[in-house]
Amino acid sequence: MAKNTTRPRLSFEVFPPNSKVGVENLTSTLDELRNLDPSFISVTCSNHKLDYEKTTIDLAKYVHDSLKCPTMVHMPAAYVTKTQVARILDELEELNINQVLVLRGDIIDGFAPESDFKYASDLTKFIKQQKPFFEVSGACYPEVHPDSKNRIDDVRHLKEKVDAGCDQLITQLFYDNEQFYRFQEECAIAGINVPILAGIMPIVNRKQALHVVENCSAHLPKKFLAILDKYKDNPVALKEAGIAYAVDQIVDLVTNDVDGVHLYTMNKSDTAKHIYENTASLFNLAPTAELE
Ligand code: FAD
């Protein structure tokens, strides 16, 4: 497998909040995240609301214009039409935002919005036809997408997505780096040669751990389950251990030449800051405080 010879990149994901309080919290979170000098901040999209342009695009505008931070916009293929995408792309170009993370979006039973795209690769192709200079990222799954028959099928479709124009991939969160290394090898064998950024989401409470297990098809290794068990009645210790676990994962990934780390921040800056302070020099970023 080709080794990454450039410095790995650190990026963050945030989501559009649902409430006024959430907006206020996110504003200060974003100020803090901006100070950590990420290579970009990505803004998620929600399937449950169809006000994509008011939520995702508006927040992306804020990150780009007010914070002057490179911005990536998530776009859900199964929830948009060609007309809508063409209009949004023009708008993004005018704003100088040219990074898009193309997703199929989760399919919700009984909900069939109007769309011209079935898979993320269909939307990728369309964006590259409309705006060849846009950088398109795609999602990938070290532990296999739940809809896939098997690993081979999943990687085959991933190769089609890259051939459709994906410039880089960002993984679903995972807690066992060996799963990621195996996936990297499978991609290399399949001829997938674009950068793969590792998606890391520190688990800082039990509710979040449950959510990960139920919704993200990521398995929690024994080492992590032991932490959850040991600190089940001590939320402060659990949070610290969860952050330390993420730092350990990142150190190992960077040591093994990962192309980049994409941190799922859950709109919380304190966890991201802790991780940054313990890994900044791995990314050649300035630490926030001088070491003694
Ligand atoms: P696709 O690449 O379209 O793949 C979906 C499934 O279809 C896979 O099983 C794939 O193997 C299969 N497949 C692909 N092409 C074909 C084909 N031609 N024939 C048959 N099968 C095929 N969701 C949101 O709603 N909002 C977000 O902001 C969001 N952000 C995300 C960020 C990251 C980094 C990741 C990893 C996921 C994110 N998701 C988000 C979740 C994502 O939308 C879901 O996981 C969704 O179920 C699949 O999206 P995809 O883009 O991977 O789909």
Q: Distance from the CA of 229 to the center of ligand 1, in angstroms?
A: 32
Let me know if residue 2 belongs to a domain.
no
The interface predicted TM-score (ipTM) is 0.99
pLDDT of residue 53: 78
Going from the Cα of 144 to the center of ligand 1, the distance in angstroms, rounded, reads 11
Asked whether 64 lines ligand 1 (CB < 6 A), one says no
Residue ID of nearest Cα to ligand 1 atom 17 = 157
Amino acid identity, position 186 = E
Among protein residues, the one whose CA lies closest to atom 49 of ligand 1: 104
Ligand 1 neighbourhood includes 196 CB (under 6 angstroms): no
Q: Within a domain: residue 4? A: no
Q: Using the mean position of ligand 1's atoms as its centre, give its distance from the Cα of residue 103 in Å.
A: 5
Written as tens digits, the pLDDT of the chain (292 aa) is 555 667 799 999 999 988 777 888 899 999 999 999 999 999 999 866 557 778 899 999 999 999 999 999 999 999 899 999 999 999 999 999 999 999 998 877 777 778 899 999 999 999 999 999 999 999 999 999 999 999 999 999 999 999 999 999 999 999 999 999 999 999 999 999 999 999 999 999 988 888 887 887 788 999 999 999 999 999 999 999 999 999 999 999 999 999 999 999 999 999 999 999 999 999 987 766 555 5
Active site residue 114: no
Asked if residue 170 has its Cβ within 6 Å of ligand 1, the reply is yes
CA of 170, closest atom in ligand 1: 34
For residues 261 and 188, is the Cβ–Cβ distance under 8 A? no
Which residue has its alpha carbon closest to ligand 1 atom 20?
157
Place of tokens 């990074």: 99
Residue 206 lies in a domain: yes
Residue 22: its pLDDT value, please?
82
What's the pLDDT at 217? 76
Q: How far is the CA of 164 from the centre of ligand 1 (A)?
A: 14
- Distance, in Å, from the CA atom of 100 to the CA atom of 164, rounded to the nearest integer, reads 14
Alpha-carbon span 56 to 195, nearest angstrom: 25
pTM of the model: 0.95
Q: How many domains does the chain have?
A: 1
Domain membership of residue 139 (yes or no) is: yes
* Domain-located, residue 292: no
Q: pLDDT tens digits, residue range 242-277?
A: 999 999 999 999 999 999 999 999 999 999 999 999
> Looking at ligand 1, which atom is closest to the CA of residue 122?
3
Is 133 contained in some domain? yes
CATH code (residue 137): 3.20.20.220
Residue to mutate, 103, 166, 179, 262, ligand 1, most ligand atoms under 8 Å from C-beta: 103
User: What is the extent of the structural domain holding 137?
Assistant: 9-287
- 103 touches ligand 1 (CB under 6 Å): yes
Nearest C-alpha to atom 19 of ligand 1 is from which residue?
Answer: 157
Q: Which atom of ligand 1 is nearest to the CA of 138?
A: 51
- Non-local (6+) Cβ contacts of 147 within 8 A are none
119 lines ligand 1 (CB under 6 A): yes
Give whole-number Cα distances, 113 to 36, 49, 58, 103, 222, in Å. 38, 11, 21, 15, 41
Q: State how far the alpha carbon of 39 is from the alpha carbons of 5, 6, 149, 198, 240, in Å.
A: 17, 13, 35, 14, 26
Residue 45 lies in a domain: yes
Helix (H), strand (E), coil (C) string for the chain: CCCCCCCCEEEEEECCCCCHHHHHHHHHHHHHHHHCCCCCEEECCCCCCCCHHHHHHHHHHHHHHHCCCCEEEEEEHHHCCHHHHHHHHHHHHHCCCCEEEEECCCCCCCCCCCCCCCCHHHHHHHHHHHCCCCEEEEEECCCCCCCCCCHHHHHHHHHHHHHCCCCEEEECCCCCHHHHHHHHHHHHHCCCCCCEEEEECCCCCHHHHHHHHHHCCCCCCHHHHHHHHHCCCCHHHHHHHHHHHHHHHHHHHHHCCCCEEEEECCCCHHHHHHHHHHHHHHHCCCCCCCCC
Query: For residue range 200-236, what is the model confidence (pLDDT) as tens digits?
Result: 999 999 888 888 878 877 889 999 999 999 999 999 9
**Helix 151-163 with 177-189: angle, nearest 10 deg:** 60
Residue 3 domain-assigned (yes or no) = no
User: Which pLDDT score, from 0 to 100, does residue 292 have?
Assistant: 52
- Strand 99-103 relative to strand 135-140, pairing: parallel
Integer Cα distance of 113 and 135 in angstroms:
26
